[in-house]
Structure 1
Amino acid sequence: MGWMENYRSHAIWDAVDRTKGRLGELQDAGELVGDPDHTEMLEALLARLDGMRDNPDITISQTSLSQVTQYVEFIHGSLPNTTSAFTGNYSGYSFDSNAQIVGAWPQPWPAKIKNLTSQIATVQSGLTAARENLATLDEKFATTDTAIVDYEAQQRAAAEQLVARVQDQVIEVARGVEALSTTAETQKGRIDEAIAGFQTKFTAGEDARKEAWAKQLNSQQDEAEAHTQRMEEHEAKSVKVLQAVGANSTATDFGTYANEQNKAATTWRSIAAAVFGVAGVWFIASSFPWYGEGATGWEAALARLGVTAAVAGVGAYAARESSQHRREERRAKQVQLALTALEPFIANLPDTEQKDIRAAAAQAIFVLRPEEPSNEVAGGDYIELIKSLVDKVPTRSP
């Protein structure tokens, strides 16, 4: 069975499923006990492991998978008390040590963008809700316009009917004007007053309807502007999440490179120690009287010193290689530290200063430089980088 089959069939994935399911059931039932921060940390660790299920990586050893499996089983056994997974100690492993192990694993791109997908889905949901609100407003506006037109038509029809009745009455009054002149004049005055009063009420109602319509339109415009502002805030948050994910990913890559350099330095150191040991044993053994029998003194000394020098030369080469790998490890660790601390360090600074600091950091870290001499203080360039970043922070009065 190859490494990929071993990876996919490992017991860690079953343990993660059971632990996540148990944690979700207890959380839905409100039966979890312990610090809520501990619950969030455990959920984050399990989510990280679940995201790596379908993304095998040959650099993740079976030993580290088995070690993390033991801790996941310990978490499952500690529920519903999530704090026990932090205060307890299963086979000598704590949450911090296991989180460091999982954090050192190469994280695949699908798992890296998982949180970004969630943020994008939230923004899209907000946009959909805004579109629905705008459609509802359009329907309300159309309904209101129709109601106003209908009301105006009814009022006009009523006015026309009233005018027609008044005209009929005027005709009847005109026919009897000779006998009822005084009554006709009085009736005419009452009709004029009725028409004037109706016109006054109609005008006042029309003004009130226009004012209400203007207020409603302004209210809907304010609401639309508020939705737009919230969408811009979501966009800004998404950009910050992208920046943080990119910085953390690069820092993780430098951490992986530092670990590789550490292993290479240790290997070369072991080779150098072994070769120097052989040279020492040879030099001591060749000093005994039985060595060099049948040869003159200078011939025996030449053979002893020549072999010792040759073997010691191989050991010196191995020691030099170990020193070079150790120097690369220190450089990578310093870069990892600078990248990890960069975003939290500049989070509360103005945007212009954040851009300047990021540019300075990128120039100091990623611009190619000549080989450093062996006697240089470890991490000198990055110490200067950190000092320069601190100098860019504005002084604030107490």
Structure 2
Amino acid sequence: MTPSEYFAHPIRELLDRLLGLLQAQEFSDPDLLAQDSPAASLQSVSAISNTARSLLERTPPQFVSGHGLTQLQNAFQAIFNELTAYQSNKNPGHLQNARAQVEQSIMPQLWTFSPLAQQGDLAPLSQSIVDLTKTSSDSIQQLIAQREKYAAQSAALAQQIVDAEAKLARLAETVTKQNAEAASVVAVVQKQYAEKEAERVVAFESLLKQLRDNFAQMQVDAELAQAQRLDSLRESQDQAAQIVQVVGNIGVTGNYQKIANVEGEQANIWRYVTIGFFCAGIVIAAATFWKFWNQPFSPENAWSVLIRLMYAIAITAPAWYTARESARHRTNADRARQTELELASLGPFIELMPEDKKHQIREELTKRYFGNQVSEHTVEQPLNLKEVREFALELIKAARK
């Protein structure tokens, strides 16, 4: 057959799938391999499959029969189907059928490969199969020994489980007894708790009633005390109002009293200054008259007398200004004392009047004492210059005569 047909033949893939299937866990079970017939069947299928795979690799396509290769493919497909069926239902008959296919259908078809390719290869292959069989048997024996060991351990574990179940049963019985005792104790405790709870409820209600009575009494006492405090506060409020009114009057009138005192002191100062100027002028005039009293009046001494009198007038002239300032400060002092007297007597004067009348009087006094303009201060000449000039002319005429 041609090389392309040979190397692309489906038997190659089928053999790979078959050899892969033989590696499944179902075909390596120690219990299965411990039996001679199933083990021999699996070994026969594995050996013939590996042999066919080896022949496919070594035999040239020119020495291979295409018809025989197709027959081998059908036989290996039947073996694959039997192994797949065993994997599904674990029926050993499928393994026997697979071995029968090897003996009846595959071995007679090995003529497909040239005898030249088979010469010299069977002896090593047979030895490999023998070695593999021996190794498999030893592995199976070891697995069986381990299984027996595990079986003994399983028996010991089963006995331990039985003992544990017995202990568990005894513990369950003990727990049942303890539960019964605990239920009895709980019943006694609940009974005692109910009795104590009833006593506590009675004591609590009694205490609560006592607290309510005490609270009611405290509330009554507090209301009485609050009423007394309110009365005392009202009385204190009235007294405070009176005190505030008096203090307010004192605060208002005290300022006027201070102004009156200051203005009075200023009036006295300006009065003393005025008296000083007048005294100085009178002394100069008296000295002039005393000096020229016994001398006859003549033109020679007239100018001297006139000049001395002018000195007296010049010294006395500021006294007019100081007298006016003293009078102004005295007027301000009298006005402040009058206002102080009126404001101080206002409260007692209107105390017994109705409230509307009090407000009316306060409004009128407010208009009177507040919002007034301050009088302007004008500076007037202390002497009339016209009158002084006329007086001086008369003196000159008298001196010429």
Q: Same fold (TM over 0.5)?
A: no
Alignment TM-score, normalising by the size of structure 2: 0.35
| Larger helix proportion of the pair | 2
